[in-house]
Amino acid sequence: MTTPVSPFSFVLETPAATPEEARRHFLAKLSVETDPADVQLDLERGKKGFVVVDVRAKEAYAERHVPGAFNLPARTISAETTAHLSKDDVIITYCWGPGCNGSTKAAARFAALGFRVKEMIGGIEYWVKEGHATEGTAPRGTPVYAKRGDT
């Protein structure tokens, strides 16, 4: 049986952006996002100019975090807790994964304090899924999951 052809399209209901509008949009998106593969490669290469910040709770950070990342829970970000950071560096925030907006909230807080910031999309979940090494007390292979109220 063939599916009837409909004149309506969910995909095309809203017209696509012009190529220039699309280019501007995607460049703007890339200016505030990065991903685990790019962060890992730059860390591996010893690149400078950015600092990785795990914005989850202290206990979650202790269990597993990106090597070299430091912990600053999202709700504790303030002028006082960030005074030791250089505004010359880009702050890379991450939390649990796509289902967690703690890194988004943290990025907004850092930006409000005058820092340039990017969010590492996918968080620690995708860092682990991509096979990158972690530091912490959790044995390798332990599932990554968020506990309620953990950012």
Is the model's pLDDT at 28 over the cut of 80? Answer: yes
User: Which of 14-18, 66-70, 123-127, 135-139 shows the lowest mean pLDDT across its residues?
Assistant: 135-139
pLDDT tens-digit profile of 90-122?
999 999 999 999 999 999 999 999 999 999 999
- Please give the domain boundaries of the chain with CATH numbers for all domains: 34-129 (3.40.250.10)
Return the pLDDT at 150.
62
Predicted confidence at residue 121, as pLDDT, reads: 97
DSSP annotation string for 42-81: HHHTT--SEEEEE-S-HHHHHH-B-TT-EE--GGG-STTT
Is the pLDDT assigned to residue 15 strictly greater than 90?
Answer: yes
pLDDT of 148 reads 59
Which of these, 106, 100, 90, lies nearest to 127 by C-alpha position? 100
pLDDT at position 5 is 83
> How much of the chain exceeds pLDDT 70, in percent?
96
Name the band, by pLDDT with cuts 50, 70 and 90, for residue 70: very high
Closest CA to 93 of 110, 80, 79: 110
Instruction: Share the mean pLDDT of the chain.
Output: 94
Shortest CA distance to 106 belongs to which of 128, 85, 133? 85
Q: From start to end of the chain, where are the E strands?
A: 33-34, 50-54, 70-71, 90-94, 116-120
Q: What's the rounded mean pLDDT across residues 116-141?
A: 94
